[in-house]
Amino acid sequence: MDKQKTILFKLGQFPHLSETFIISQIKLAIDAGYNVKILVRQLMDVSILTDTVAVTNYDILSRIFIENYNIPNNKFKRVIIALWKAALAFIDLNLLIMHCRSFKSFSLAHIYQFSFYQQFTDIDIIHVQFGTNTRPVDILKQIGFLKGKLVISFHGHDAFFPINGVIPIDNYYDYAFANADFIIANTNYLKKALINIDCPEEKIKVINIPVDPIFFETPIQMRSNSRTLRIITIGRLHKIKGHALCIKAMKELKMKGVDVTLTIVGDGKEKESLLSSIQTEELINQVFLLGKKSQNQIIDLLDQHDVYITTSIPVEYGRRETQGIATIEAQARGLVVVAFDSGGIKYTLQDKVSGFLVKEGDVDQLVDKLIYLFQNKDQRLRMSSNAIKVAKDRFSQEVIQKQWINIYGGP
């Protein structure tokens, strides 16, 4: 009987509210039959995990390793322990030397780093989430120390330089691109961005982020027969989400006499600015800012609304959203989507079938489509049925899992 394959997911900070797709990926691998371990550079407050099923049924917390090299603060002790670790690595001494020489300047930290990763030499697959988390596994793979398959998933900001407005390109991904077996982009939009920074096209595979099965399995609550068009949008309160344009659209709809409400779910730096706009535009009875919600609460909220809107816009250095999982989750619950044609959002819906794409930043077009859905309930209901089918046919776990098994190899 073949040994069960082990996947090591390498992350930076974990968990993050805005990165529910990471949990989704881990659950998918466990469901497919792989032995999963999780390496994190910094463990955050686990109480923010909204997916309680992942914590309990998938035993996520027991799978976590902290990437801590335990380097002493005392310089003398630091040197002695480094020499001791180098001696213990005698069999791999040539590899250790190659590892240290891979950096521009020598540091004792490289010895501690090499020693730490000795526990992962028998890992079958290392799956790095975000290109910026690839070091040092890209170097350790190049020198032959880590022999497992290296898969690197990019998610957006990690493919646009300067990364976070700080990291210059400067051959930043040379080791990663040279040594990865597969580079994963979640849409063709991100694939093009990776090619623009010299990623070998033949290594890139496009795999969408799947919808959690719970969005299909939970029976959809019967929506009330209200005349009000109930709109919702979900996501962190960040400029890239374009929430200010949502509020502008609501103002125009109100002025045109459309009976409409907007629910904004999420938290973030833009909260106070949005609250101020809601009050200034006298929309406190039409726009509701709910803060962050659990997965089950989000499902309930989606079932209480008719239309999902996405008003993502470009931010610094032209960076745009690469996929947007909430748009797909909304379709899985039967919501018609109206979205700006920004970044990779176009790949998450079927225009004129499960929703409408409108020109990026064009509030007038957005308003026109919302009025159309308000005035044409029968068409809205047809598109609602289409939305569920689009989500299931293209983004269900069963569909995406097969693509990942092709990348990983059978469990």
Q: Evaluate if pTM is beyond 0.95.
A: no
Q: How many CA atoms lie within 13 A of 206 on its CB side?
A: 16
- The structural architecture, per CATH, of the domain 214-395 is 3-Layer(aba) Sandwich (3.40)
Q: How far apart are alpha carbons 239 and 145 in whole angstroms?
A: 42
pLDDT in tens, the chain (411 residues): 568 999 999 999 988 766 778 988 999 999 999 999 999 999 988 777 767 777 788 998 899 999 999 999 999 999 999 999 999 888 899 999 999 999 989 999 999 999 999 999 999 999 999 999 999 999 999 999 999 999 999 998 899 888 877 778 788 999 999 999 999 999 999 999 999 999 999 999 999 999 988 899 888 887 778 899 999 999 999 999 999 999 999 999 999 999 999 999 999 999 999 999 999 999 999 999 999 898 889 999 999 999 999 999 998 878 899 988 999 999 999 999 999 999 999 999 999 999 999 999 999 999 999 999 999 999 999 999 999 999 999 999 999 999 999 999 987
Does the fold of domain 214-395 match that of domain 6-68+121-210+397-408?
yes
Ordered by start, the domain boundaries in the chain are: 6-68+121-210+397-408, 214-395
Specify the CATH number of the domain 6-68+121-210+397-408: 3.40.50.2000
